[in-house]
Structure 1
Amino acid sequence: MAKPKNNAKKLSYISVPSQIISSLSSSSLQSLLLSPKKSSKNRLYSFFTTYRSPRFWFFTLFLFGLFGMMKLGFNVDPLVPFPSSYPCFTGQSPVLSSDRSSKLRTTIASSGENGGKMEALTDLSLPRVSKSNGYSEDEQKSEFWKQPDGLGYKPCLSFSREYKKTSGGIVKNRRKYLMVVVSGGMNQQRNQIVDAVVIARILGAALVVPVLQVNVIWGDESEFSDIFDLEHFKKVLADDVRIVSSLPSTHIMTRPVEEKRTPLHASPNWIRSRYLKRINREGVLLLRGLDSRLSNDLPSDLQKLRCKVAFHALRFAPPILELGNKLADRMRSKGPYLALHLRMEKDVWVRTGCLPGLSHEYDEMISNERKQRPELLTARSNMTYHDRKLAGLCPLNALEVTRLLKALGAPKNARIYWAGGQPLGGKEALDPLFREFPDLYNKEDLALPGELEPFANRASFMAAIDYIVSEKSDVFMPSHGGNMGHALQGQRAYAGHKKYITPNKRQMLPHFLNSSLPEAEFNSIIKSLHRESLGQPELRIGKAGRDVTKYPIPECMCNNSRGHS
C-alpha cells in the first residue's frame, strides 16, 4: 500500500543563543529557517541557486561564528597538567621580616590531604609550566638540574653458590645469638646496624634486634621498631641472617659475654678467631660501640650483604615514611628541588675546631667552649682554625654555600630544602642563602599544623624525615662530611647515580678568599673544580678502605646484564 503524500510544509529547528536571535530581524530568521520542499528534478538547479544566494553565505558564517563561540566558552586542554599535585596549593618564597623570625603565611582551603586546610606560603605568581613534565621552561633549560651519566650501572646482588649453600644452616641455627647496642645519631646507628648483620653472618649466629642506646645529647629513647620497619627488616634478610625480636627462653638466663674492645676495621678472620669459640661456648655474645669496627675491605658476598641491609632491609617505619614522602611531594609540586644538609649547629663548630664567622661574639663563644672541653675536638688539635679551613676540614657557612651554588649555576628560583638541626645564631645565620634563594624551606615550613607533633623531641625521627626528603631530591649537597652525607651518597648512587655535589673545599676556598677575582672567572673556576664531583659512577676499589655503602661499584652494581639478579 502506497504511503499518502504529505504536501504540508515541514519546519526545521536550529538551536542558537538568544543573543544571536535578538540581533536578527524576523524576516531574516524566517528566510533562514523556512524552506519549501523541492522536487528531485530541480535539485541541481536549486543547489546552484542556493550557492549563489547571500543567505547561504550568511548562514555559513553564522555556523562558523557559533562554533567559535562554543570553542572559546569551553576551552579545556586535557593535555595541560596542574602545575601542582595539589591543585589548590600555592607556594611562594618565604617573605622574611627584619628579624628573620617569621614568614608571611596564609591558610587556604584545600581538597588535598586529610580534607582539611593547608597552610602554605603565599604565592602571587607561578612560573610558566611546560606540558611535558610540569616543570617551568626556565627550569628545564637550566644545566644545574642535569643528571650525571650513570654509564648503565644498575644494582646487582647475585650471591655466590657457596654463600647460598651455607645460608640454610645459618638461618636454622638456634644455639648462637648476637646482641648489639648501637650508639650515636640515627645515621651513625644505621651504619652500625649494617655491620651488626654482617658480623652475625660471619659468626653464623642469629641477630637479636639491635638496641638503640639513649642519646645523652638529645635524650631520644626511640627503639628500633620506632624508626625502622622491623617486619620488613626480618623478611628481606630471611635468607641471610635470622633476626629475632628477643632471646628465646633457653637463653634468657644466660649471662652474655660482653666485648668492648673490638679494634677499628677488624677483618672477618679476626672476628672469628676472637669471638667464635666464646659464642659457641656461651651461646650469647654482646657487642657495643660498633662504629667503624668492621673492615671496609670484605669478601664480595659480605659486601653485597652490606648493600642489601643498607639499601633494601633498613626501611623507615610507615609513619615516618608517610610523612617524609608527603614533604618531598610538597617540595616537588612545583618542579625540581635541591636538598642541602647544613652542618651549622653549635656542637659541629665546637667539634671541628672551626669558627662560624657570624660575628666576633659567636666566634668567641665557640673558642671558649672548646677550651673548656678540649675532649670534644675530633682530631688534629695542633692545627689553627685558618689551617683547618684551608685543609677543607671546616663546614661551609651559609655565605660559602650560597657562592658555591651560584657558581655552579643554581637558578635563583631554585626550590631548596635544608636538612639539619638549628644553626648557631638561629635562622639569621641563613640570611645569605635566603637573600639569593628565597624559596628555602625545611620540614617545619612544609609540615601542616600538627603533623610534626608526634615526632617532637625525637631527634632520630626528625633525622629520618630529613633523610627521606633529601634522598628524593633532584640534587643533593652537604656542607660538610658526615654519616648522613655518606649514606646518601651511596643511596643516590644505588638509585641510578642521582646528582650529588661534593664540595671541593680544599681547592676552592683559596679562590673564595681572592676578592679581586671577577665573578665570571670565579664561576668558571668553581665549575671546573666540580666537573667530576657531581655523583658520577666511581669504583670503590679506586682507593683502599672505601665503604661499599658509599661506593657500591663494583660489588653491588654492574653495567652488564649477566650480573643482574
Structure 2
Amino acid sequence: MVNRGSSHNRTLAIRFLPRKPSPYVLTLYIISLFAFSIFVFLFYTRSILEEDERKPLLFGELQSEQIPEEKLWDSPFGYGLHPCVKPTSKYKVAQGSEHYITVRSNGGLNQMRTGISDMVAVARIMNATLVIPQLDKRSFWQDSSTFSDIFDELHFIEALKGDIRVVKELPKKLETIPRARKHFTSWSGMGYYEERTQLWKEYQVVHVAKSDSRLANNDLPLDMQRLRCRALYHALRFSPPIESLGKKLVERLRARGGRYIALHLRYEKDMLSFTGCTYGLTDAESEELRIMRETTNHWKVKVINSTEQRIGGFCPLTPKEVGIFLRALGYPQSTLIYIAAGEIYGGNTHLSELTSSFPNIAFKETLATQEELEAFNNHASQNAALDYIISVESDVFVPSYSGNMARAVEGHRRYLGHRKTITPDRKGLVEVFDKLETGELKEGSALSFLVRQMHENRQGAPRKRRGSLPGIKGRARFRTEESFYENPYPECICSSKRQLQMT
C-alpha cells in the first residue's frame, strides 16, 4: 500500500529546493562580488591615504605644514591663575632691630637678584636689619656697578618696610666693631636660621660672604615663600635709567614686528668654556676654551669630555641648532628674534648659521642709539638687566641653556600669567640633530612632527615645582630640586578668581 502522505511531502521538498544555477547567472554573481570587493578596497585605500597625508612620515622629505599663528604665539594657560603674594593674617609687621646683616652678593645679575631675595627672607627669620648688599665686582664680568646703579634703592627700602628694616649702610658706631663672618649653608630651612640667632649673643653684625642659594626651595612657611616673591618681583625694581630704556626697546621691537621671540642664546665664551662644549668649533677655538677653563681658579672641573656633555644634554644649543629647532616648531623666516645675550663666541661666523634662516634679528645695539647705550658700556650686569626686561615682556621666550638668566625669566613669566616659554629638550634634540647629519632624517614634516611632539609639554604650562631626583640622599638632593625662583607655584600663584592682590 502506497503511503500518499510521504509521497506528497517529497513533492513539496523538491518544489522548494533551489535549482542548479545556470552558467550565466553564476558568472554575473562572481562579477558582482568582484566589483563590490574592488569598491570596498578603493574606498578604504582612499581613507588610509588621506589619513597618511595628515600624518607626517617618519623619514620623509615633505614640506613643513603651516602652523596656525595663535598656536605659535599665544599662551593658552590662563586657568584663572594669578599672582598672590599678600601676607597671611598671621604675618606681623617688622619691628626695628639693632642687629645687622651685611651681604656680599656673588655671581651675575640674576644670581645676585635671587640671592638678595633669599637674604631678605633670612633677615626676617633672624630678626635683623639688612644693609643694602654689596654687588659682585670680582666675577667673570668685572662689573663695577653698585646696588643703586642697577636697582631702585629707595623703592627697595620702601617696598620692604612692612617685612624687614633696610638701611643704606651700617651706623658709623658699628663700622669698626668685630663681625661674625659666615658662609651660611646652602638650601637651609627655617630651623637652621633660627639657630643662627644665637650669634646675636656675641655679635651685633653678621657678614654673609655669599648670597646665592642660601634658602631651601621647599618646605618653608607660606609667608616666607611669599616674602621671597615680594622681594624679587616687586621690591627689586631696576633703576629708572634701566627701566626707561628697557621699555623703549620693547616698544621699538613691537613697532618693528608686533610679536617677537626673545632668544637667550647662551653661546658665549664663558659658558662654552665652563661646560666644556666644543661641538661645531674649530680646533683653535676648542683649545682657547680649554685654556680659559684651566686658568679660571674658581671653576673646579678642568677636564671635560665634550662629546659626553653634548649627548647628556648639558651643552647650550648652537646657533645652527637653534635655527633648526625654531623652523621645526613652525616659526616662519620672517619671525622677529631678539638676541638676549652677551658677545656670541666666534661672532658672525657662528651667528650666521642662525641668521641665514631667520634674518630678522635684533640686538640692543640695533635697537638703541650709541648715546643711549653709552652709560651701559662696560657694565655687563646693567646690559643683562635690559635683556631681562625685554625677555620677560616677549611673546615667546626661548632659552638655549638652563642657566640663571633662563630660570629667573621663566619663573617671572610664570608669575605674570604663565607666558609662553619654550624650553628645549637638549638631550632629546641631540639625537634628532645627529640623525639630520647622517641623512637618516630630513627637515620637513617628519622633523617638525618629532620636535613639536617632544615639546608639547615644555611651553610653560602651570605645574607644581619639581622635587629632588629619586635615589639621591643627604644634602645633595637639594641641588637637584627645581629652583623656587624658576617656578614659584603654588606659593606665589593662586587659582582663585578673586581680584589680584598685588599688581
The two structures have a TM-score, normalised by structure 1, of 0.71
* TM alignment of 1:192-341, pairs within 5 A: 192-260=115-183, 262-273=184-195, 275-297=196-218, 298-333=220-255, 334-341=257-264
Q: Is the 8 A contact 2:108 2:141 kept in 1?
A: no
1:508 matched residue in structure 2: 429
% identity of equivalent residues:
38
1:364 matched residue in structure 2: 287
Distance in 2 between residues matched to 1:250 and 1:368, nearest whole Å: 47
- Residue by residue over 1:13-41, the C-alpha shift from the partner in whole angstroms, topping out at 9 and shown as x without a partner, is xxxxxxxxxxxxxxxxxxxxxxxxxxxxx
Q: How far off its partner does 1:189 sit?
A: 0.8
- Residue by residue over 1:434-475, the C-alpha shift from the partner in whole angstroms, topping out at 9 and shown as x without a partner, is 111111011011112311001111111111111111111100
Q: Is the 8 A contact 2:279 2:306 kept in 1?
A: no
1:174 matched residue in structure 2: 97
* Paired AA for residue 490 in structure 2: P
Verify: 1:547 aligned to 2:483, yes or no.
yes
Q: Is the 8 A contact 1:357 1:363 kept in 2?
A: no
Q: Is the 8 A contact 2:112 2:211 kept in 1?
A: no
Distance in 2 between residues matched to 1:197 and 1:263, nearest whole Å: 16
Q: Is the 8 A contact 1:182 1:211 kept in 2?
A: yes
Alignment CA distance shift 1:292-1:256 (3 Å): same
Q: Is the 8 A contact 1:306 1:548 kept in 2?
A: no
Helix, strand or coil: the match of 1:550?
coil
Q: How far off its partner does 1:375 sit?
A: 5.3
Q: 2:85 aligns with which of 157, 160, 163?
A: 157
Alignment CA distance shift 1:142-1:378 (3 Å): farther
Alignment CA distance shift 1:209-1:139 (3 Å): farther
Q: How far off its partner does 1:398 sit?
A: 0.4
Alignment CA distance shift 1:140-1:231 (3 Å): farther
Alignment CA distance shift 1:238-1:403 (3 Å): same
The two structures have a TM-score, normalised by structure 2, of 0.79
Distance in 2 between residues matched to 1:417 and 1:326, nearest whole Å: 14
Q: How far off its partner does 1:319 sit?
A: 0.4
* TM alignment of 1:90-105, pairs within 5 A: none
- Residue by residue over 1:155-212, the C-alpha shift from the partner in whole angstroms, topping out at 9 and shown as x without a partner, is 1123222223xx3xxx332311111110111111111101110110010111111111
1:410 matched residue in structure 2: 331
Q: 2:458 aligns with which of 533, 545, 563?
A: 533
Q: Is the 8 A contact 1:227 1:316 kept in 2?
A: yes
- Residue by residue over 1:32-81, the C-alpha shift from the partner in whole angstroms, topping out at 9 and shown as x without a partner, is xxxxxxxxxxxxxxxxxxxxxxxxxxxxxxxxxxxxxxxxxxxxxxxxxx
Q: Is the 8 A contact 1:142 1:411 kept in 2?
A: no
Helix, strand or coil: the match of 1:212?
coil
* Paired AA for residue 72 in structure 2: F
Alignment CA distance shift 1:216-1:307 (3 Å): closer
**Aligned CA-pair RMSD:** 2.1
Alignment CA distance shift 1:438-1:234 (3 Å): same
Alignment CA distance shift 1:317-1:369 (3 Å): closer
1:57 matched residue in structure 2: none
Distance in 1 between residues matched to 2:372 and 2:296, nearest whole Å: 39
Distance in 1 between residues matched to 2:75 and 2:448, nearest whole Å: 20
- Residue by residue over 1:138-171, the C-alpha shift from the partner in whole angstroms, topping out at 9 and shown as x without a partner, is 998363112131322101123222223xx3xxx3
Q: How far off its partner does 1:503 sit?
A: 0.5
Helix, strand or coil: the match of 1:526?
helix
Verify: 1:473 aligned to 2:387, yes or no.
no
Verify: 1:387 aligned to 2:304, yes or no.
no
Distance in 1 between residues matched to 2:229 and 2:448, nearest whole Å: 37
- Residue by residue over 1:331-389, the C-alpha shift from the partner in whole angstroms, topping out at 9 and shown as x without a partner, is 1113100001111111211110110513333223324444x44856565x676211110
* TM alignment of 1:116-155, pairs within 5 A: 141=69, 143-155=71-83
Distance in 2 between residues matched to 1:280 and 1:182, nearest whole Å: 25
Distance in 2 between residues matched to 1:397 and 1:294, nearest whole Å: 33
Which structure has the higher relative contact order (CA within 8 Å, separation 6+)? Answer: 2
Distance in 2 between residues matched to 1:313 and 1:426, nearest whole Å: 37
Verify: 1:556 aligned to 2:492, yes or no.
yes
Q: Is the 8 A contact 1:156 1:563 kept in 2?
A: no
Distance in 1 between residues matched to 2:467 and 2:76, nearest whole Å: 19
Distance in 1 between residues matched to 2:290 and 2:141, nearest whole Å: 23
Q: In structure 1, list runs of 5 or more residues that go unmatched.
A: 1-137
Distance in 1 between residues matched to 2:179 and 2:115, nearest whole Å: 19
Paired residue total: 419
Verify: 1:436 aligned to 2:436, yes or no.
no
Distance in 1 between residues matched to 2:410 and 2:69, nearest whole Å: 26
* Paired AA for residue 78 in structure 2: G
* Paired AA for residue 234 in structure 2: H
Distance in 1 between residues matched to 2:192 and 2:400, nearest whole Å: 37
Alignment CA distance shift 1:242-1:374 (3 Å): closer
2:441 matched residue in structure 1: 517
Distance in 2 between residues matched to 1:299 and 1:291, nearest whole Å: 20
Distance in 2 between residues matched to 1:270 and 1:542, nearest whole Å: 20
Helix, strand or coil: the match of 1:420?
coil
Distance in 2 between residues matched to 1:393 and 1:212, nearest whole Å: 29
Q: Is the 8 A contact 2:261 2:338 kept in 1?
A: yes
Q: In structure 2, list runs of 5 or more residues that go unmatched.
A: 1-65, 469-477
Q: Is the 8 A contact 1:501 1:534 kept in 2?
A: yes
Distance in 1 between residues matched to 2:466 and 2:321, nearest whole Å: 32
Q: Is the 8 A contact 1:471 1:488 kept in 2?
A: yes
Q: Is the 8 A contact 1:182 1:193 kept in 2?
A: yes
Q: Is the 8 A contact 1:350 1:376 kept in 2?
A: no
